[in-house]
Amino acid sequence: MGKQQINPFHLAFKVKDLESTRAFYIDILGCQEGRSTDTWVDFDFFGHQLSAHISAYIPDLDYCGVVAGIKVPIPHFGCILSMEEFETIQKQLEKHDIPFVVAPYIRYEGEPGEQRTMFVLDYSGNPIEFKAFKNMEEVFAS
């Protein structure tokens, strides 16, 4: 069976302002800007469409998720990257002194679905997970 095409997802989320949002997603992560108004901006987030909308209320984080014994913020969004892309993003985050919510580590080491993962918060406090699988065919491994 041939490789399945993955359709891009769309996610609309809340941010405190567009200036710091552009600084994070463009200057640090390297995303390209798409359409925008004075209240929202779209980004090409590794081939997916993010729509950041200004909001006076950004909900508090809940660290109710536990994955491989590590508490993770819920909700969160993220992207599956190649190992090279993961290392590039990690270096960019470190270069800009972005603190890790979960520092880069190997999850499920030696098991199906082995992956490198890390969590950060954008400048509005939205949690983002980046991960890279040792074997991309094991993304949905159980």
> Number of structural domains, the chain?
1
pTM of the complete model: 0.92
- Residue 33 domain-assigned? yes
- Residue 74 domain-assigned? yes
How far is it, in rounded angstroms, from Cα 131 to Cα 108? 12
pLDDT score of 44: 98
> The domain that contains 38 carries what CATH number?
3.10.180.10
Question: Residue 40, Cβ neighbours under 10 Å: how many?
Answer: 16
Question: Residue 28, Cβ neighbours under 10 Å: how many?
Answer: 17
Question: What are the CA-CA distances from residue 113 to residues 12, 21, 31 (Å)?
Answer: 28, 32, 27
Which residues of the chain have a pLDDT value below 50?
1
pLDDT score of 72: 94
- Residue 5 domain-assigned? no
Helical residues (DSSP H) of 1-142, grouped into ranges: 18-22, 83-95
- Residue 43 domain-assigned? yes
Question: 130: domain range?
Answer: 10-138
pLDDT score of 1: 44
Amino acid 63 reads Y
- Residue 104 domain-assigned? yes
- Residue 4 domain-assigned? no
- Residue 53 domain-assigned? yes
Amino acid 86 reads F
pLDDT score of 3: 61
**What tens digit of pLDDT does each residue of 74-93 get?**
999 999 999 999 999 999 99
